[in-house]
C-alpha cells in the first residue's frame, strides 16, 4: 500500500511540475538581418541571388519566419536611398547587415 501511495504522489508531483519546467525554458532567439539590395527585386539576377542567400541561411539552420527575420530594403542604385537605408538598418540594431546585387543590374 505504501509503495502505491508513494508512486502516485511522485507521479502527481511530476505531472504538476511539468508545466513549470516548460515555462522555465527560454524561447530561441530570433535573429534580425538587414538586407540592402543595390538592384531592384525586379532585376534578372534577383531570384537567383535571393534564393542562394536564403539557401545559405537554411544550410546553417536559419529559416525565415522561424528563427530569422529579414528586413529588406532596395536602393536601386540610387546613392541617396542607399545611405538612408543603411542608416535605417543600423538603427534597427539587427544582428547582421548584408548588401547584395550587382550595381549594373540597376541600369
Q: Indicate if the pLDDT at residue 70 is higher than 70.
A: yes
For residue 50, give the 3-state DSSP assignment.
helix
Whether 39 is in a domain gets the answer: yes
Whether 13 is in a domain gets the answer: no
Look at the chain and report how many structural domains it folds into. 1
Instruction: Return mean pLDDT, the chain.
Output: 77
Euclidean distance between CA atoms 63 and 67, whole angstroms: 6
Which pLDDT score, from 0 to 100, does residue 77 have?
A: 80
Cβ atoms of 106 and 40 closer than 8 Å: yes
What are the percentages of helix, strand and coil residues in the chain, rounded to 5? 50, 20, 30
CATH number of the domain at 52, please: 3.40.50.2300
Q: Domain range holding 50?
A: 31-106
Counting every residue, how long is the chain? 107
Give Cβ neighbours of residue 36 (< 8 Å, ≥ 6 apart): 73, 74, 75, 82, 85, 86, 89, 97, 98, 99, 100
* pLDDT tens sequence across 29-42: 999 999 998 888 88
55 confidence band (pLDDT: 50, 70, 90): very high
* pLDDT tens sequence across 79-95: 888 889 989 999 999 99
pTM above 0.75, yes or no: no
Amino acid at each position: 500500500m505504501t509503495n502505491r501511495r508513494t508512486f502516485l504522489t511522485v507521479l502527481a508531483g511530476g505531472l504538476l511540475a511539468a508545466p513549470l519546467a516548460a515555462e522555465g525554458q527560454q524561447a530561441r532567439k530570433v535573429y534580425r538581418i538587414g538586407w540592402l539590395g543595390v538592384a531592384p527585386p525586379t532585376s534578372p539576377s534577383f531570384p537567383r541571388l535571393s534564393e542562394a542567400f536564403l539557401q545559405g541561411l537554411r544550410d546553417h539552420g536559419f529559416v525565415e519566419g522561424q528563427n530569422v527575420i529579414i528586413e529588406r530594403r532596395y536602393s536601386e542604385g540610387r546613392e541617396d536611398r542607399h545611405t538612408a537605408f543603411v542608416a535605417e538598418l543600423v538603427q534597427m540594431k539587427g544582428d547582421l547587415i548584408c548588401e547584395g546585387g550587382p550595381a549594373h543590374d540597376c541600369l
